[in-house]
């Protein structure tokens, strides 16, 4: 059982539309689960017995080819919803990129609950449409953009997605990534050498500062947006 009233993503998650009594009922169905970095929560093509809200950490969505090659098709952050309601199989692996915590529900029980709460169903629909838009953007990012465009697009998206999640520095345009350069390279389909080279060039051109290995300060957002295409 989870205490939804004290949930850190209470106002941003899909359950934000529920009243206190409905939240209490949903909380009885859920449980908190720690997920270690590298641990897989759902496997591609397997049954999808659970769905979950992300409370802390970052997880990746991965699909694989028959010969074992992998592609990251999405990244999820606190308040994002993972799993496939009203679907029996997971279309991708869900693996933690950092240590994470999720609020996890039995899929069947969650589907029954959602069926009795139209506001929650509408929230799920909005999330699904948002994910579809992100997936289309991701296709453009991976398939058509150059290395510099990929890195610039990624940093701009991270600066927006990490806002309000405790990842911003004292500088207004600064934020701290929850993962390292190798993981950035994996997400973008680049080598770590190419990723590091692009970051170094952006710093030399004055677009950003790199106070530490994971801290990013965007100095010229307009120029970064132009570079991102």
In tens, the pLDDT along 78-100 reads 989 998 888 788 888 999 999 99
Kindly report the CATH number that applies to the domain delimited by 4-142: 2.60.120.10
Alpha helices in 30-189 (DSSP H): 107-115, 118-144, 147-161, 181-188
CATH topology agreement for domains 4-142 and 146-227: no
Segment 113-138 shows an average pLDDT of: 83
Residue 227 makes CB contacts below 8 A (sequence gap 6+) with: 148, 149, 152, 202, 207
Segment 108-119 shows an average pLDDT of: 89
> Can you say how many angstroms the Cα of residue 178 is from the centroid of all Cα atoms in its chain?
11
- Give the per-residue pLDDT at 209: 94
- Give the per-residue pLDDT at 170: 44
CA neighbor of 196 nearest in space, from 208, 211, 205, 184: 184
* pLDDT above 60 (res 69): yes
Segment 189-215 shows an average pLDDT of: 93
Residue 23 makes CB contacts below 8 A (sequence gap 6+) with: 4, 5, 15
Buried b (16+ CB within 10 A) or exposed e, 169-195: eeeebbbbbbbebebbbbbbebeeebb
Specify whether the CB–CB gap between 32 and 62 falls below 8 A: no
- Give the per-residue pLDDT at 196: 94
- Give the per-residue pLDDT at 171: 43
Could you report the per-residue pLDDT of 126-184, keeping only the tens digit for each? 888 887 787 777 777 777 889 999 999 999 988 988 865 544 444 456 888 988 899 89
* pLDDT above 80 (res 36): yes
Tell which wins on pLDDT, 35 or 6.
35
Residue 6 DSSP code = G
> 146-227 has which fold?
Arc Repressor Mutant, subunit A (1.10.10)
Specify whether the CB–CB gap between 180 and 214 falls below 8 A: yes
Residue 76 burial (10 A CB sphere; 0-12, 13-18, 19+): buried
CA neighbor of 92 nearest in space, from 41, 134, 35, 142: 41
Segment 56-81 shows an average pLDDT of: 86
- Give the per-residue pLDDT at 64: 85
pTM of the model: 0.80
Helix crossing, 107-115 with 118-144: angle to 10°?
120
Q: What whole-number distance in Å separates Cα of residue 184 and Cα of residue 138?
A: 14
End-to-end CA gap in the chain: 46
- Give the per-residue pLDDT at 193: 96
Segment 51-62 shows an average pLDDT of: 92
The domains of the chain are located at 4-142, 146-227
Residue 227, token pair as written in the block:
């570079």
Average pLDDT, the chain: 86
């Amino acid at each position: 059982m989870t205490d939804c009233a004290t949930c850190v993503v209470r106002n941003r998650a899909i359950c934000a539309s529920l009243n206190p009594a409905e939240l209490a009922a949903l909380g009885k169905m859920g449980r908190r689960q720690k997920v270690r970095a590298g641990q897989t929560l759902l496997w591609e093509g397997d049954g999808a017995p659970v769905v979950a809200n992300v409370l802390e950490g970052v997880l990746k969505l991965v699909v694989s080819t028959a010969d074992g090659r992998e592609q990251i098709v999405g990244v999820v952050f606190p308040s994002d919803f993972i799993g496939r309601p009203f679907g029996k199989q997971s279309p991708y692996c869900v693996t933690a990129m950092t240590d994470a915590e999720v609020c996890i529900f039995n899929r069947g029980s969650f589907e029954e609950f959602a069926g009795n709460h139209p506001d929650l169903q509408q929230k799920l629909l909005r999330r699904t449409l948002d994910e579809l838009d992100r997936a289309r953007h991701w296709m453009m990012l991976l398939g058509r953009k150059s290395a510099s465009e990929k890195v610039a697009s990624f940093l701009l998206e991270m600066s927006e997605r990490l806002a309000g999640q405790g990842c911003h520095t004292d500088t207004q345009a600064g934020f701290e990534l929850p993962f390292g350069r190798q993981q950035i390279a994996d997400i973008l389909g680049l080598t770590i050498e190419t990723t590091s080279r692009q970051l170094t060039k952006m710093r030399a051109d004055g677009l950003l500062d790199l106070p530490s290995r994971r801290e990013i300060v965007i100095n010229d957002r307009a120029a970064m947006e132009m570079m991102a295409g």
